[in-house]
Amino acid sequence: KKHQVELKFCEQIVSKLFNKKHATFAYPFLHPVDPVALNIPNYHKIIKKPMDFTTIQANLKSSQYANAKEFLLDARQVFLNCYKFNPTTDNVYRMGKQTEELFDSLWKE
Ligand SMILES: Cc1ccc(Nc2c(-c3ccc(O)cc3)nc3c(C)cccn23)cc1
């Protein structure tokens, strides 16, 4: 029961990330990275565990996470992938930081 309540909170956080008002910086993390569309054929050589918030949302809806901790691991993976792949000078790196900040504020809310 306790896990159901905390996982409901997780679902609410993820749906807030999809809110239009955050779209300008959150969009690269809302859907699976498409290496063909982005012309980054080496992506899956560098990133061994691709993750995004559409996948996380689907995992939540299909009860793939036993608890919030497991959810948090996948959410952190989105940002780790971003910082591993994108150069610190790249816009998307900065967008990752902005999205992570938003995520942390929603998590601590
Ligand atoms: C040549 C090049 C360089 C950087 C990127 N990064 C990037 C990423 C990305 C997101 C998460 C992630 O773990 C890795 C990459 N998403 C984008 C988008 C949506 C538009 C433009 C660039 N984007 C794309 C192409």
Tens digit of each residue's pLDDT (9 = 90 or more) over 33-81: 999 999 999 999 999 999 999 999 999 999 999 999 999 999 999 999 9
* Burial per residue of 35-53, b for 16 or more beta-carbon CB atoms within 10 angstroms, e otherwise: eeeeebeebeeebeeebbb
The CA 85 to ligand 1 mean position distance, Å, reads 8
Q: Residue range 13-19: average pLDDT?
A: 98
The CA 21 to ligand 1 mean position distance, Å, reads 20
Q: Residue range 4-32: average pLDDT?
A: 98
Determine whether the shortest distance from the Cβ of 38 to ligand 1 is under 6 A: yes
pLDDT bin (cut points 50, 70, 90) of residue 2 is confident
Determine whether the shortest distance from the Cβ of 28 to ligand 1 is under 6 A: yes
Is residue 109 predicted with pLDDT exceeding 90?
Answer: no
The CA 17 to ligand 1 mean position distance, Å, reads 18
Q: Of all residues in the chain, what percent carry a pLDDT higher than 70?
A: 100
- Residue 18: CB atoms within 10 A of its CB come to 14
- Residue minimizing CA distance to atom 4 of ligand 1: 86
41's CB contacts (< 8 A; 6+ apart) are: 35
CB 21 within 8 A of CB 86: no
